[in-house]
Amino acid sequence: MTEAPLRWGVLGAADIASKAVLPAILAAGDEVVAIASRDADRARQLASILGIAAVYDSYQDLIDSDLDAVYIPLPNSLHLPWTLLAVAAGKHVLCEKPLALGALEATAMRQAAQNRGVTLAEAVMYRYHPRWRLVRQVIRDGSLGSLRHLRGTFTFSLQPPPDIRWEAELGGGALYDVGSYLVNACRWLVGEPTRVLAREHLLHGVDGDGSMLLEFASADGPVSAELAYSFVAAEHQQFEVIGSTGSLLIPKPFTAWHGEAIPIWLNESPDRPPRAIPTPAADPYREMVVAFGNRVHGGPELVTDGRDAELGMKVLDAARRSLGSGSWERLDGVLSPES
Least distance CB 74 / ligand NAP (angstroms): 4
Q: Are the CB atoms for 32 and 95 separated by under 8 Å?
A: no
Q: Which stretch binds ligand NAP (CB under 6 A): 10-18, 148-156, 234-242, 306-314?
A: 10-18
Least distance CB 13 / ligand NAP (angstroms): 4
Please give the Cα distance from 319 to 229 (Å, whole number).
13
Indicate the residue among 218 and 238 with the shorter CB distance to ligand NAP: 238
Residues 6+ apart with CB under 8 A from 200: 173, 174, 175, 207, 209, 210, 323
Contacts with ligand NAP, 35-54, as mask; x by CB under 6 A: --xxx--xx-----------
Indicate the residue among 139 and 291 with the shorter CB distance to ligand NAP: 291
Residues in the interface with ligand NAP (CB under 6 A) total 22
Please choose, from the candidates 240, 213, 242, the residue with its C-alpha nearest in 3D space to the C-alpha of residue 228.
213
Residues 6+ apart with CB under 8 A from 36: 9, 10, 11, 12, 43, 55, 56, 57, 58, 59, 61, 62
Check binding of 96 to ligand NAP (CB under 6 A).
Answer: yes
Kindly report the number of other CB atoms within 10 A of residue 337's CB atom.
6
Least distance CB 330 / ligand NAP (angstroms): 27
Q: Are the CB atoms for 186 and 225 separated by under 8 Å?
A: yes
Task: Please confirm, yes or no, whether 97 is among the known catalytic residues.
Answer: yes
Of residues 276 through 305, those in contact with ligand NAP by CB under 6 A are none
Check binding of 97 to ligand NAP (CB under 6 A).
Answer: yes
Residues 6+ apart with CB under 8 A from 86: 11, 63, 70, 72, 93
Indicate the residue among 108 and 335 with the shorter CB distance to ligand NAP: 108
Of residues 61 through 90, those in contact with ligand NAP by CB under 6 A are 73-76, 78
Check binding of 16 to ligand NAP (CB under 6 A).
Answer: yes
Please give the Cα distance from 171 to 176 (Å, whole number).
7
What single DSSP character describes residue 179?
I
- The C-alpha angle 258, 34, 12, rounded to 5 degrees, equals 70
Check binding of 256 to ligand NAP (CB under 6 A).
Answer: no
Strand partners, 149: 224, 242
Sole binder of ligand NAP in the list 6, 14, 28, 249 (CB under 6 A) = 14
Check binding of 120 to ligand NAP (CB under 6 A).
Answer: no
The residue ranges that bind ligand NAP (CB under 6 A) are: 12-16, 37-39, 42-43, 73-76, 78, 96-97, 123, 125, 164, 170, 177
Active site members: 97
